[in-house]
Structure 1
Amino acid sequence: MTLVAKVKESESVKTREDEMLTRENTGLIVVDIQGKLAGLVQDSARLIVNTTLLIKGVKALNLPILWLEQNPEKLGGTVPEIASALSPNRPIPKYTFDACGAEAFIQAVQESNITKWLVCGIEAHICVYQTVLSLLELGHEVELVCDCVSSRTTFNKELAIAKLTSKGAGMTGLEMCLYELVADCRAAEFKEILRLIK
């Protein structure tokens, strides 16, 4: 191996700390779980339960949350269970499928000083896909919480996940990300996280 190749290899190696979600570097983005559409996506009941638990876990860990609603005047508000879990946060309305087209969202992302975003919501192949792609292009790290995203068809959910992971997004799950964030069974928040996902 040449010296140049060795240097390039060492530059590309990330430490475990670089790879892990931490409370200092992680936030949550909740995308458009609204109105009738929320009931039409695949396994909608499970999506709503899992997302509610994810939000409660993230709040217990005191992480920032950005809450999005697509064209709420036409599509309706966020489903009550999730809206209640998100309170007292307020939704950011958007009209472009890509949330990065909304100035208020971009401003909230910049002000958060967060480098890694967990993303959940619907639809995986439209608003989630376009928003995650733009966040990646802006230099953020993104992990899809795969049991907290959905589309009207399984094919479209799987397509979105496959395409986003090929472009650099990571994958995680509800339990995986919360345990990664709490990190230590002696942490004050551990019992609350355990109670939520037991």
Structure 2
Amino acid sequence: MLRKEETLLVLVDVQGKLARIVHESESMIEQLVKLIRGLRMLDVPVVWLEQYPEGLGPTVEEVAQWMTGIQPIRKRSFNACETETFTRAVKATGRRQILVAGIETHICVYQTAIGLQELGYEVQVVADAVSSRTFANKQIGLEKMKAAGISWTSVETALFELMRMAEGDTFKQIIQLLK
């Protein structure tokens, strides 16, 4: 079960033209925005990654606009854990439960999730907030993570786990967000 004070989101490479051509891209971007907005309402930190932005372009505006106060970490490795700036940023949060979302499921999401798990973190992939260029590759990435012991969750499941209670202003705001 996710705990608000232990959870962190790692947002992986939702950039440029690639973000527009992945399987069901509009739905994935919509789910990512809900997830990020909900987590920010709950004061859950986000570590934001960009793969080779000089070539792939910046994070899509629909997502980037909700990342105020956060700077993306540039990387070249598919497994972000091979980027020291990333591992330091994750460690600095003090969080042990990590949600992973973004693209592509079978490459950077998969390799980063495995890398985090190998570093001892409890990792969950947000299955409705990841994608790949093809549905088959998305499924392959999800299945490989599952086989490695990484749980799947969804945007709604994660947010409701973190809220715990159906009360308060934040609950009301998140319910509106999810409609």
Q: TM range, normalised to the smaller chain?
A: over 0.9
Q: Which residue of 2 aligns with 1:113?
A: 94
1:96 aligns with 2:77: yes
Q: Which residue of 1 aligns with 2:31?
A: 50
Q: Which residue of 2 aligns with 1:68?
A: 49
Q: Which residue of 2 aligns with 1:156?
A: 137
Secondary structure in 2 matching 1:142: strand
State percent identity of aligned pairs: 45
Secondary structure in 1 matching 2:114: helix
1:196 aligns with 2:177: yes
Greater length-normalized contact order (CA 8 Å, ≥ 6 residues apart): 2
What is the TM-score normalised by the length of structure 1? 0.89
Residue 187 of structure 1 and its aligned partner are, at CA, apart by: 3.6
Secondary structure in 2 matching 1:86: coil
In structure 2, how many angstroms separate the alpha carbons of the residues matched to 1:61 and 1:127?
26
**1:97 corresponds to which letter in structure 2?**
F
Q: Which residue of 2 aligns with 1:16?
A: none
Secondary structure in 1 matching 2:44: coil
Residue 131 of structure 1 and its aligned partner are, at CA, apart by: 0.3
In structure 1, how many angstroms separate the alpha carbons of the residues matched to 2:71 and 2:168?
29
In structure 1, how many angstroms separate the alpha carbons of the residues matched to 2:21 and 2:169?
38
What is the TM-score normalised by the length of structure 2? 0.98
In structure 1, how many angstroms separate the alpha carbons of the residues matched to 2:176 and 2:74?
32
**2:12 corresponds to which letter in structure 1?**
V
Structure 1 consecutive aligned stretches of length 4 or more whose deviation exceeds 3 Å? none
* Superposition RMSD in Å: 0.7
1:38 aligns with 2:38: no
In structure 2, how many angstroms separate the alpha carbons of the residues matched to 1:33 and 1:147?
14
Residue 86 of structure 1 and its aligned partner are, at CA, apart by: 1.2
Q: Which residue of 1 aligns with 2:115?
A: 134
1:123 aligns with 2:123: no
Secondary structure in 2 matching 1:62: coil
Aligned partner of 2:154 among 173, 180, 187: 173
1:72-126 Cα offsets, whole Å, 9 max, x none, are 0111000001000112211000011110111110000111111111110000000
1:127-168 Cα offsets, whole Å, 9 max, x none, are 001100110111101111000000001111111111111111
Unaligned runs of 5+ in 2: none
**2:28 corresponds to which letter in structure 1?**
L
